[in-house]
Chains A and B, each alone.
Chain A
């Protein structure tokens, strides 16, 4: 699976949009981009994933560039409860049993 690069930390004011970038310049055509977050002392929580098109759900939006070499996770109105480590992971979508491999992620701090 392709590697990803994320900034180690970011701050965001409460109520503002949080835009978390991720570079995955070696992504291949059959690899999806997944986003998870981990709130302190909890297991990772699935947020969203996508292949080419932008995706939106109740938690966030995922914007993938046309060349698919980078993506941005957008939390439209960040709250204090969104403070967490956010992981961007690229993985081949197969019917096999390939686990997610976690990098260091971005520590997002939402500030009141």
Chain B
């Protein structure tokens, strides 16, 4: 069964709207979660690393004021796309990893964001 739950799975909204995406780890605690973005026919690109109780670490070229990440508990991280515009339309995917060693990273089912 799924170990990472992501919600919502699909969002359509008007330009200028802020959109919040939730990522939950099920049955395990994740001190770190990851947020990826995927454009059509491209691979996943890491946006940021979300750390519980501290600030997220953003990849180069990702605007931290545009993509707000909050990781307030060990099982929940949220990504808010602020004042979204059509170019922010994409497939957003979160991921979490069991702590320790070589444990695999598990992914949510993604959120398809369409900005009109």
Q: Is the interface of A mostly helix, strand, loop or mixed?
A: loop
CA gap between A95 and B98 in the complex, in Å? 10
Identity of the chain B residue whose Cβ is nearest the Cβ of A103 in the assembled complex: B43
With both chains docked as a complex, state the minimum distance between the C-beta of B30 and any C-beta of chain A, in angstroms. 10
The answer to whether A41 and B44 have CB atoms under 8 Å apart is: no
The total of chain B residues at the interface (CB under 8 A) is 28
A43 adjacent to B49 (CB under 8 Å): no
Segment from B12-20, B72-80, B105-113 that makes contact with A: B105-113
> Which residue on B lies nearest to A87, using beta carbons?
B43
| A residues apposed to B, CB below 8 Å | 32, 34, 36, 38, 41-46, 49, 51, 87, 93-95, 97, 99-105
The residues of B with any CB-CB pair to A shorter than 8 Å are 4, 6, 31-32, 34, 36, 43-46, 49, 51, 91, 93, 95, 97, 99-102, 104-110, 112
